[in-house]
Amino acid sequence: MPEDRAAAQLRGFGPLGILALLVVLAGNLLMPPLSAILTLVWARWSRTPWSALGFVRERSWPAIVALGIASGVGFKLLMKAIVMPLLGADPINHAFHYLARNRAALPGAIFTMIVIAGFGEETLFRGFLFERLGKLLGSSAWARGFIVLITSGLFGLAHYHNQGLAGAEQATVTGLVLGTVYAVTGAIWLPMIAHAAFDLAALAIIYADVETRVAHWVFK
């Protein structure tokens, strides 16, 4: 049937499959939620199961939510107080410092952290790209490790244009951690919640104007 043939072509890496891949990736140039929406459209048209993108049923949603929030906040504090200072990063995130004490910008920022970052970026960089690269490289341990490296590098590059080197470094490290969790579990919910919590913790630190104080917790 024509529909079955088109679905198979979308799942493959012929002209139609490559075009679909490029279209989904191009959506990220505008904003990650568009790529996420295009990913879901691609999954429907290609008849790719949601589970292949990490959208699986969890045994305990409260536990996943609690673990995601706790790990995301803890990871952000670790990055801000230890990892980024070791990399020589400026304590102040100048790309987002305008959010300090800026109550009017909070609703938009919170939306960005949850929808654009948590949902949008995880659906693209973990769900979609892991599925596509997995089809090419396979599901062996080395293949999954290589996919984590590739997607983390791309994730870092995606943050360079508006956050500079420090933002790219932080995103790369974050991608390595979230990508490893996704590679091991095959479920996207924990990385998605942790990612949103990570960014919301960053927002709280910036809004409270305590970036320098947190960055100097360990290294004075």
Per-residue model confidence as pLDDT tens digits over 156-192: 999 999 899 999 999 999 999 999 999 999 999 999 9
Say whether 71 sits in a helix, a strand or coil. helix
**For residue 116, what is the DSSP state?**
I
pLDDT at residue 2 in the model: 66
pLDDT at residue 1 in the model: 60
209 torsion bin: left (phi>0), alpha (psi -120 to 50), beta (else): left
pTM: 0.95
With 0-12 CB in 10 A as exposed, 13-18 as middle and 19+ as buried, what is 186? middle
Residue 150 pLDDT exceeds 90: yes
Alpha-carbon distance of 122 to 106, in angstroms, equals 22
Alpha-carbon distance of 44 to 22, in angstroms, equals 17
Alpha-carbon distance of 22 to 28, in angstroms, equals 10
pLDDT at residue 4 in the model: 81
